Copies of this chain bind each other. A is one copy, B any other.
Amino acid sequence: MTQPMRGVLAPVITPFTADLAPDQGRFNRHCKWLLASGCAGLAVFGTNSEANSLGLEERKDLLEGLVASGVDPARLIPGTGLCALPETVALSAHAAALGCHGVLMLPPFYYKGVPDEGLFRSYSEVIQRVGDARLRIYIYHIPPVSNVPVPVPLVERLLKAYPGTIAGIKDSSGDWANTEALLALAPQGLSVFAGSEVFLLRNMSGGGAGCITAGANVNPAAIDQVFRRWAEPGAEALQAGIDRVRTILQSHGTMIPALKAVTAHFGQDPAWRTVRPPLVELAPADEQGLIRDLLEAGFAMPGLRP
């Protein structure tokens, strides 16, 4: 049986060419840098990947190209949850067939206020239609963006109905009480990932598996240190250090363009600034403030520059 995933995962930012096409070469290089820099795995096609701005075929092509470049699929948990049942099935089956460790699955997110029964049926239909024992689902709970929560009782119902297939959850609610309630399900086989590094120490202390976090795109090594040393003296100081960087990342414009600006700056690679609509790149003043604050905090991205 596959070992459960543990550690720090990045929802990998997606590079685009000037005409807004996905840039496979830069994507592969950034993925390899992340894996060499502390990430246990990669949640490619997460929210911070602008994944919902990518087409179905673009996702498949990027994932195949990444594996073909030599990245071990056992370290990948691609996002596969779309609004439409047949497309969630197609992407999830594709990921399982490629040998990915698992998939990160949003609930269908267009219709709001849907009953838990409807969300249960959605996940059930996907599992039955994929029909592949290798499928491992990490539920993606991110109500601030999806506006469709996956409540704890529904997670528990799914876990009981599909043990082994429902493998874990990424909790991006920002609500520690919700993560605590999920941690009560860890003994039943739920790997609980915090959705931000600011909860990493608390999540590990409570029996969690790690974090899947935007910040890991640029600060993987320091976040990995909190994962590895959470039980040691000094863990709180390490946590305070990654909190400081996270606060800076969130203080200048919005997160995805900020992550790309930081990668462009420290990698000396301006092409990274490109975002797909509906996002807009960081304003120059925001980028200057962001880089200044990061440099003052001693931040670096060792090994990023080619």
Chain A interfacial positions (CB closer than 8 Å to B): 20, 47, 52-58, 83-87, 90, 107-115, 117-119, 121-122, 124-125, 144-148, 254, 276-280
**Contact across chains for B278 and A52 when beta carbons are under 8 A apart:** no
Copies of this polypeptide in the complex: 2
Determine the distance from Cα of A83 to Cα of B50 in the docked complex, in whole angstroms.
Answer: 10
A111 touching B145 in the complex, CB below 8 Å, given contacts A117-B280, A118-B278, A277-B125 = yes
List B contacts of A53 (CB < 8 A). Answer: 83-85, 108, 110-111
**Contact across chains for A108 and B55 when beta carbons are under 8 A apart:** no
List B contacts of A277 (CB < 8 A). Answer: 85, 108, 118-119, 121-122, 124-125
**Contact across chains for B121 and A83 when beta carbons are under 8 A apart:** no
Known: A115-B278, A118-B278. 18 other contacts (CB 8 A): A52-B110, A52-B111, A53-B110, A53-B111, A55-B85, A55-B86, A55-B87, A55-B90, A56-B56, A57-B86, A58-B86, A85-B277, A112-B145, A117-B280, A118-B279, A118-B280, A121-B280, A147-B147
List B contacts of A118 (CB < 8 A). Answer: 277-280
Determine the distance from Cα of A111 to Cα of B58 in the docked complex, in whole angstroms.
Answer: 18
**Contact across chains for A85 and B276 when beta carbons are under 8 A apart:** yes
List 15 contacting pairs A-B, 8 Å CB cutoff, sorted by A.
Answer: A20-B85, A20-B125, A52-B83, A52-B84, A52-B108, A53-B83, A53-B108, A56-B56, A57-B86, A58-B84, A108-B277, A115-B278, A115-B280, A124-B277, A125-B277
